[in-house]
Structure 1
Amino acid sequence: MHLTVWNVPEACSEQDVRSFFERELGHYAKGITVYDVGTPNAHADLELNSEVPYVAEAVARELQSRRLAGVALRVSAAPFDAEDPPPRK
């Protein structure tokens, strides 16, 4: 499961961003990739270590209230991984 985090402050280094999300996500952090560091388009892709449905949405809601270097984060979760079909009702 993946999350995309937007609004990463330009002033943060890649290590700052990684350390922040490792601390915030704990054992859920499987992989953290940071793009466009030092630019207004800086963002991160967070891979979560969970197979439980909808964990990404819950984590996204929790991270949405967090601030990195004083800047409010914008977080979105993909509704389903590309390989996973939506659950049937």
Structure 2
Amino acid sequence: MRKKEKLDFYSFVKYLENINNSFYSHGRNTLERTLEDNSVIKIRGFLYKISKPLTDEQKEYLLKFKNVRLFISQCQYAPEIKHNAVFVGDKKIF
């Protein structure tokens, strides 16, 4: 069986359940990537804020998928509050 290259919603939720973590959706977003030739591509997807911090092993697992990027989310009015955020794109992120 071939390894999955893209993370889908069902697999993401199952993985979070296995590591006893949860998420809340921040909504549909667009990630812009600038390529070497200065062209910009837009990748649509969902940004999920994670309730508990991710370990390095968990981050490594998520980054194996080609449509996932990790971010740190910071509250606007309380900058000391930070959460891990996972962007799951509709297509591969180059």
Taking structure 2 as the reference length, the TM-score comes to 0.40
Report which of the two structures shows the higher radius of gyration computed on alpha carbons: 2
Q: Quick check: which one's helix share is greater? A: 1
Which protein, 1 or 2, shows the higher relative CO under an 8 Å CA cutoff with sep ≥ 6? 1
Q: Quick check: which one's strand share is greater? A: 2
Taking structure 1 as the reference length, the TM-score comes to 0.41
